């Protein structure tokens, strides 16, 4: 392992000491990374207005791109020049610094419209070629988002898959003391814009994003039993969906947003049901006296992956909705649960028990090959980045619930420690333009 990886020291991360800091804040600390990340240069953006440097676009972009260990940005004081347009770019300067890719840009702020406009260029130094020219604008109060959009574009141009810096993470914060509350929170992937979605003195569970990223479905025990709620993030408006006696849990939004697959135990044991949000009605899709739970949809909405102990131990099964056919997908070991499809549908991420320890693993569902990704041992709730590159999961460190992450290629490992509280059940939002 050490041959291919090297421990990277965490870069100092600027912590905003605003009121947000009283909430737990997630931040990424790389614990194991690539030996030779791609070297990039993000030149401080020039500005065509007199306003002070309040928009530190380049530092946010740098932080984004370095967060998962794939890129290493050279320091701005080491740069030989500070170009802001193509004419000012001398490839030789950047070759000397062994830079592979360069990002330059400029912005102007219009106080009148409360708007900032950014133009930027991405260059491939070795090929002496401009890869992309972008022009974007936004309200000046959402300049962080604008920086994340540039990071996403840069990532996509270099790696050929979408960046995930504009995505968000929902998670549950557990009370440390009995009088404290359970919190459902949402945060940008860099830990900023942390906001509280819902609080309760009773447990909250299983957040799941709507495909448009505007709503969350989750489980709340606020009325003394489990119920599924849907909440709009912008307005805070929430409603429970029709509950029945027993368990109401494990909501999973269908890719088209019309259905929610979930677990009900009204028949006396937990089975998978599908809720139609247009018709406000439930339809049962599995029926077995054992435990059926943890449903999740394939990207085309035709299949549902779920966990069942129908064979005697928890294993992962796949249901074809149209004909009700159910096929077992995991055979290695006696505990495989909470499967999630990776983009492409060929692999699933799951929780696998080996020698009594619970790890995040990946399995090819065609040939059955299973690979354990983590060396932590109480892992839960893996959630996959929408570009399929990264898995974040909940685990324990020093008796505390933390979120940790790993790249699917098993090269970079990181943790997302929170300042306060115990965090669990991360749910990665979809990509939304």
Taking the least distance from each CB to another protein, the nearer of 33 and 270 is 270
Does 374 bind another protein (CB under 8 A)? Our answer is no
Does 29 bind another protein (CB under 8 A)? Our answer is no
In the list 27, 215, 338, 359, the residue contacting another protein (rule: CB under 8 A) is: 338
State the minimum distance, in angstroms, from the CB of residue 353 to another protein: 8
In the list 320, 334, 369, 409, the residue contacting another protein (rule: CB under 8 A) is: 334
CB 305 within 8 A of CB 338: no
The whole-angstrom distance between residue 314's C-alpha and the CA centroid of its chain comes to: 26
Q: Which of residues 42-81 bind another protein (CB under 8 A)?
A: none
Tokens for 150, please give them: 């540039």
d(CA 405, CA 358): 15
CB-based burial label for 431 (10 Å; 0-12, 13-18, 19+): middle
Q: Which of residues 236-275 bind another protein (CB under 8 A)?
A: 246-247, 249-250, 263, 265, 268-270
CB 231 within 8 A of CB 224: no
Taking the least distance from each CB to another protein, the nearer of 232 and 380 is 380
State the minimum distance, in angstroms, from the CB of residue 55 to another protein: 40
In the list 76, 156, 380, 431, the residue contacting another protein (rule: CB under 8 A) is: 380
d(CA 269, CA 289): 6
Tokens for 293, please give them: 């739970």
**Window 205-224: contact mask with another protein (x via CB under 8 A):** xx--------------x--x
State the minimum distance, in angstroms, from the CB of residue 399 to another protein: 6
Q: Which of residues 390-409 bind another protein (CB under 8 A)?
A: 396, 399
Q: Are strands 71-73 and 38-42 parallel, antiparallel or unpaired?
A: parallel
- What count of Cα atoms within 13 Å lies in the side-chain half-sphere of residue 373? 28
State the minimum distance, in angstroms, from the CB of residue 225 to another protein: 5
Does 84 bind another protein (CB under 8 A)? Our answer is no
**Window 276-315: contact mask with another protein (x via CB under 8 A):** ---------------x-xx------------x------x-
367 three-class SS: coil
Provide CB contacts within 8 A for 413, sequence distance 6+.
Answer: 30, 31, 32, 33, 374, 404, 405, 406, 407
Strand order, beta sheet including 336-341:
336-341, 347-354, 357-364, 370-372
What one-character DSSP code corresponds to residue 418? B
Contacts with another protein: how many residues (CB under 8 A)? 36
Q: What is the dihedral of CA 320, 322, 325, 330, to 10 degrees?
A: 0
Give the relative orientation of helices 143-159 and 57-66 as an angle to the nearest 10 degrees: 50
Taking the least distance from each CB to another protein, the nearer of 102 and 342 is 342
CB 169 within 8 A of CB 392: yes
Taking the least distance from each CB to another protein, the nearer of 163 and 426 is 426
d(CA 124, CA 160): 14
Does 187 bind another protein (CB under 8 A)? Our answer is no
State the minimum distance, in angstroms, from the CB of residue 259 to another protein: 18
CB 187 within 8 A of CB 25: yes
State the minimum distance, in angstroms, from the CB of residue 74 to another protein: 42
Does 318 bind another protein (CB under 8 A)? Our answer is no
Taking the least distance from each CB to another protein, the nearer of 73 and 423 is 423
Does 432 bind another protein (CB under 8 A)? Our answer is no
State the minimum distance, in angstroms, from the CB of residue 246 to another protein: 7
Binding site for another protein (CB under 8 A): 203, 205-206, 221, 224-226, 246-247, 249-250, 263, 265, 268-270, 291, 293-294, 307, 314, 334-335, 337-338, 351, 353, 356, 358, 378, 380-381, 396, 399, 424-425
């Amino acid at each position: 392992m050490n041959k291919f990886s090297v421990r990277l020291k965490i870069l100092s991360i600027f912590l905003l000491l605003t009121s947000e800091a009283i909430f737990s804040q997630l931040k990424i600390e790389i614990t194991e990374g690539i030996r030779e990340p791609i070297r990039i240069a993000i030149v401080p953006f020039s500005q065509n207005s007199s306003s002070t440097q309040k928009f530190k676009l380049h530092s946010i972009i740098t932080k984004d791109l370095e967060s998962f260990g794939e890129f290493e940005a050279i320091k701005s004081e080491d740069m030989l020049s500070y170009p802001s347009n193509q004419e000012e770019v001398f490839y030789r300067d950047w070759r000397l610094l062994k830079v592979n890719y360069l990002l330059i840009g400029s912005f102007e702020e219009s106080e009148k419209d409360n708007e900032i406009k950014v133009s930027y260029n991405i260059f491939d130094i070795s090929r002496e070629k401009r890869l992309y020219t972008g022009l974007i604008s936004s309200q000046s109060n959402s300049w962080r988002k604008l920086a994340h959009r540039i990071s996403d574009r840069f990532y996509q141009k270099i790696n050929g898959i979408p960046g995930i810096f504009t995505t968000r993470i929902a998670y549950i914060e557990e009370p440390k003391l009995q009088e404290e509350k359970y919190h459902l929170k949402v945060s940008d992937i860099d830990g900023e814009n942390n906001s509280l979605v819902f609080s309760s003195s009773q447990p909250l569970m299983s957040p799941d994003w709507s495909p448009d990223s505007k709503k969350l479905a989750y489980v709340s025990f606020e009325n003394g039993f489990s119920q599924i709620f849907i909440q709009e993030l912008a307005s805070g408006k929430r409603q429970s969906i029709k509950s029945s006696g027993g368990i109401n849990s494990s909501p999973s939004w269908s890719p088209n947003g019309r259905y929610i697959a979930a677990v009900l135990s009204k028949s006396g044991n937990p089975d998978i049901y599908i809720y139609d949000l247009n018709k406000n009605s439930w339809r049962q899709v599995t029926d077995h006296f054992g435990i059926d739970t943890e449903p999740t949809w394939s990207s085309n909405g035709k299949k549902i992956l779920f966990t069942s102990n129908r064979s005697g131990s928890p294993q992962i099964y796949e249901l074809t909705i149209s004909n009700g056919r159910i096929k077992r997908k995991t055979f290695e070991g006696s505990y495989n649960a909470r499967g999630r499809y990776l983009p492409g549908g060929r692999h699933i991420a799951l929780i696998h028990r080996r020698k009594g320890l619970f790890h995040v693993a990946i399995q090819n569902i065609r040939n059955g090959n299973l690979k354990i990704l983590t060396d932590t041992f109480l892992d839960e709730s893996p959630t996959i980045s929408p570009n399929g590159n990264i898995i974040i999961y909940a685990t324990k460190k020093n008796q505390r619930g933390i979120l940790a992450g790993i790249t699917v290629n098993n090269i970079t490992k990181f943790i997302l420690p929170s300042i306060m509280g115990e965090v669990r059940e991360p749910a990665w939002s979809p990509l939304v333009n």
